[in-house]
Structure formats: structure tokens, C-alpha cells
Amino acid sequence: MIYEHSKMLDHFSTGIFAAMDAKKQALLDAGRKVYNLSVGTPDFEPPQHIMDALAESARDPYQYRYSLVDGREMLEAAASYYLRRYGVTVSTDEITSVNGTQEGMGHLGMATLNPGDVVLLPDPGYPIYEAGSWFGGAEIYYYGLVKENEFLPKLSEIPEDVLRRTKYICVSYPSNPVGATAPKSMYLELIEYAKKYGFFIINDNAYSDIIFDGREGYSFLSLPGAKEVGVEFFSLSKSFNVTGLRISFLIGNRSIVNALKLLRSQYDFGMSYHYQKVAVAALTGPFDSVTKQCAMYQKRRDALCGGLRRIGWNAWDSHGTMFTWIPVPEGYTSASCVETLMETCGVVGTPGTAFGPKGEGYIRFALVKTPEEFEEIIDVIGTHFPR
């Protein structure tokens, strides 16, 4: 028997990523060298003290129980980290753990939205923002992120009737996929809009530790008034290379945090104690590996973007994240560029259109190779990519 899935699932497909995976596999099967720059998982290792914490926890039989709720130790570690790292004071009841921002973002939509609500999402943007909106049965209004406006939202262009029905807006800087950063004035304007129209702000703080050329990685919650109208997802995935463990937090406005906690209490028995130990180690331990890693990402960015410019591509330097957002050469679309790069060079990127229609004309490359490997990739593209 084949059973029909829910109507809500009609919004989703594995489409483009599955097709790219199949293509990549076909190249590998044909014995071709493949440079996979489409992945979002860092190739760096977790710091030793984090792996030690997990190993120690694994040997302790007490840590294998249901956790049910977030432990005090972890919540206090998160609160003190926010004070130390970002100068933000939060109390432990303004924090909940989530099994990764991905999970939290999906369920926050379910916990806060009703049919008839509107959510404001970036185009191009990280796909899970859409999923959360569909889970909550809301309508989506896409605000465009374009180069001419430095990939920042133009709030004044959003129609008044949309703003009046808006429940929340998702923003994220440094931004995946576009690699842009935002000035604090952008968030301050957003806070004014949220107050005026009664919506809340979800800031996805995934990359404040991967930020280049001396820019400051900050928390949205450090801005005056932010906590009254917003929350922030704070993921450990990319700063500490623990993507597979699924450790993130929702921090900020208590009523929003409580809504997510209530929903989570119905389907989840809490973050594993092992991962709570990892979180404590990350949040209370040394920070030097994060700083060093950021410098290494910057060197990779230089090798890739600088290299592409050398061979005649119109590539600009991304400001942060582990991604670069590169305009495709003339005569190509996102899809045809990705396809040609794969076939002629074995280089796998992600078409900008995977992140929304305004991604047309771009390709996203992940900074998951060493500078030396990027030099090799640039040579291959310079030699084999037809222009």
C-alpha cells in the first residue's frame, strides 16, 4: 500500500540536493576527482576539551537517563557565556536548549503561528525558515536580499497590510548563503518596526564567530530593546564543529521561549545529558580554537575569492560565515554554472536558486578546503571551465 502524506508536506521536496548528490556520486563512480564545495559541515575538528568532556560523560552510567529538562549547570553556562562573550544579561528562564537551530526553528513556527499570520523571510535564505512557517500554517512574505542594498532587508518596501499581519521576521547575519554582515543600525530599525507593528524578531546567530577583516561578531540581544521584541537561536554547531550533536539554544523574550518549551515538553524528553556536558565544556572552556579557526576561514576565503578574481570571475570577499556567494560568469544561470563546473572541473557548488528565486545568478561555495586545495581548485577552474 502507498499512503498519502499530509497536505502540509506538499510544501517540501528533497529536489535539488538529492539530484546534486546523485550527480556527484556519478562523477566519483566514473573515477573523477571531485571537489565538494556544496557541504555545510565544517571539516575542522571539535576542540580537544569538548571531545574529552563527551568521552568522560560516556563512561558515566548516570548520564544515560532521560534528562526531561535542561540542567542548571548548562543553563548557567549559557547565561554566563552570553555575558562574557556578548555582554548580554539573560536569566536561565530566558533560555531553552534545542536539538539544533534547525529543529528549534521548525518547532518555533509551530509554537507561535496561526493560520492568517504572515512571516517575513529572506530571499535568498536558509531553507529551514520556510519549513517553520509551513509547520505553523502561516503565509510567507519574502523580503529580498540584493547586492545593491548590501544584502540587507529594505523594511520600507514591505506593504503596510503585510506588516500588520506579521507574527515574526527571521534574520541572520553573518548570513548564509550570502556571506554578508549587518550593521547594528539594521537591527535597531527592525526593533522599531517590531514595536510599531507588534511582531517579534528571530535572529539566527549561527556565525558570529566566523566573521572576517576585523568585523565584530555580536548578539542581536546586546541591542537596546531587543529582548522585549525578540529571540535569538545560538548554535554551537559551527563555532565548535559539533554539527552532528545538535546543540543550540533559544534565548531572549520569555513568552516566546516558554511557548517553545511547552511544545517541546510534549514531544521531547530533553537534550541528552552527554550533550549537556559537551555544551558546558564548550561554553565555559577556552575560546582560542574558535579565534584561530576564524582566521583559518578567512585565509580560505582569501584563497577562493582572490583566486576566482585572478581568473576573471567577479567574486567579492564574503564578510563572514563558512560560505562565499559568487556571481556566475556571464552567459550562465545558477543551474547551468553548477552543472558545467561539475562536468568540466569536478567542482560541486550549490546553485543560488536553492535558497530562493533571488539566488538566481549566484553559486554558493563552502569554505571546506585548505588554502592550498583552493589554489588547486582555482587552477582546475581556470583551465577547464568554458568561458
Ligand X SMILES: Cc1ncc(COP(=O)(O)O)c(C=O)c1O
Residues that bind ligand X (CB under 6 A): 40, 100-102, 126, 172, 176, 204, 206, 235, 237, 243, 248
Please report which helix (H) or strand (E) contains residue 129, including its range: helix 128-135
What's the closest the beta carbon of residue 99 comes to ligand X, in angstroms? Answer: 8
Residues in contact with 379: Cβ distance below 8 Å, sequence separation at least 6, in sequence order: none
Is the separation of the CB atoms in 165 and 118 below 8 Å?
yes
**Nearest CB to ligand X, comparing residues 74 and 345:** 74
Which is nearest to 378 in space by CA: 321, 334, 324? Answer: 324
Write down the least CB distance from residue 119 to ligand X, Å.
16
Nearer to ligand X, 233 or 273 (CB): 233
Give whichever of 300 and 307 is closer to ligand X, judged by the CB atom. Answer: 300
Instruction: Name the β-bridge partners of 363.
Output: 326, 351
Shorter beta-carbon distance to ligand X: residue 243 or 284 = 243
CB of 387 to ligand X, least distance (A): 31
Produce one character per residue of 6-21: b if its CB has 16 or more CB atoms within 10 Å, e if not.
Answer: eeeeeeeeeeeeeebe
> Which one, 163 or 289, has the nearer CB to ligand X?
289
**Number of Cβ within a 10 Å radius of residue 188:** 13
**Closer to ligand X by Cβ: residue 38 or 289:** 38
Report the nearest approach of ligand X to the CB of residue 128 (Å).
Answer: 7
Residue nearest to ligand X (CB): 100
207 versus 313: smaller Cβ distance to ligand X: 207
Q: How many CB atoms lie within 10 A of CB 225?
A: 13
**Peptide bond just before 127 cis, omega within 30 deg:** no
Do the Cβ atoms of 145 and 178 come closer than 8 Å?
Answer: yes
Give min distance, CB of 60 to ligand X, in A.
25
Q: How far is the CB of 299 from ligand X (least distance, A)?
A: 21
200 with 229: CB under 8 angstroms? yes
What's the min distance (Å) between Cβ of 353 and ligand X? Answer: 17
Closer residue to ligand X (CB): 112 or 172: 172
N-terminal to C-terminal alpha carbon distance within the chain: 51
Q: What are the φ and ψ backbone dihedral angles of 200, each rounded to 5 degrees?
A: -115, 165
Q: Beta partners for 250?
A: 96, 233
Q: What is the closest distance, in whole angstroms, from the C-beta atom of residue 205 to ligand X in the complex?
A: 9
CB-wise, 138 or 206, nearer to ligand X? 206
- Reported for 306-314, long-range contacts at CB under 8 A and 24+ positions apart, including other chains, are 307/374, 307/375, 307/377, 307/378, 308/378, 308/381, 310/378, 310/382, 311/378, 311/381, 311/382, 312/387
Shortest approach of ligand X to residue 238 CB, angstroms?
7
Give the helix/strand (H/E) hosting 96. Answer: strand 95-98
